[in-house]
Each structure stands twice: as structure tokens, then as C-alpha cells.
Amino acid sequence: MTAVLLSGGLDSAVLLAEEAAARSVQPIYVSAGLAWEAAERASVDTFLKAVARPGIAPLAAVAVDMRDLYPGSHWAIEGRPPAYHTPDEDVYLPG
């Protein structure tokens, strides 16, 4: 069995589908306590329902609360995404 970190994004979804074509897969979602996780989990759940098959195990979820690394006003906590022209150092997520 292969473990795949599944974020709800395209890259991890394709990886899971490719791995599931060859072997059993354990999808794992890691929650860090950030603002967008409800939307991510909804995407993960929708995707897993769409690709359901015997070789894909039920989603395992792991919580690693990272909110203490950010000030309460940080965009990742408040859910205010930065503008497209924001410098890289301002969108970096520690941890």
C-alpha cells in the first residue's frame, strides 16, 4: 500500500489516481488549522467519491495545528488571500 498526501489540489489528485491504478492507496489529509481547509476538505471528499474503488482506502486525517506560528492577523488565518503581485516573502508559510 502507498500513502498519498491528498490536499484537494490537482497535483495530489493526479498522484492518487496514478498510484491507485497500480496498487492500493491510503489517502491522507493533513490539517494545519488554516483558513482554506474547509474548502480543501470539500474538494478532497468530492474527488474521493468520484474515484471510489476498492483499492483506495478511506481518507485518513491528521491534525497538526500550526496556527501558533502565525499572528492572528496573518492572511492564512483570516482567509484573506494576498494579491497576485505580493512579494514571495509575504506569502511564505512557515512550517
pLDDT tens-place string over residues 19-78: 999 999 999 999 999 999 999 999 999 999 999 999 999 999 999 988 888 888 888 888
Confidence of residue 79 (pLDDT cuts 50, 70, 90): confident
State the Cα–Cα distance between residues 8 and 47, nearest whole angstrom: 8
Q: Go through 9-34 and write b for each residue having 16 or more CB atoms within 10 A of its CB, e for each that does not.
A: eeebbebbbebbeeeebbbbbeebeb
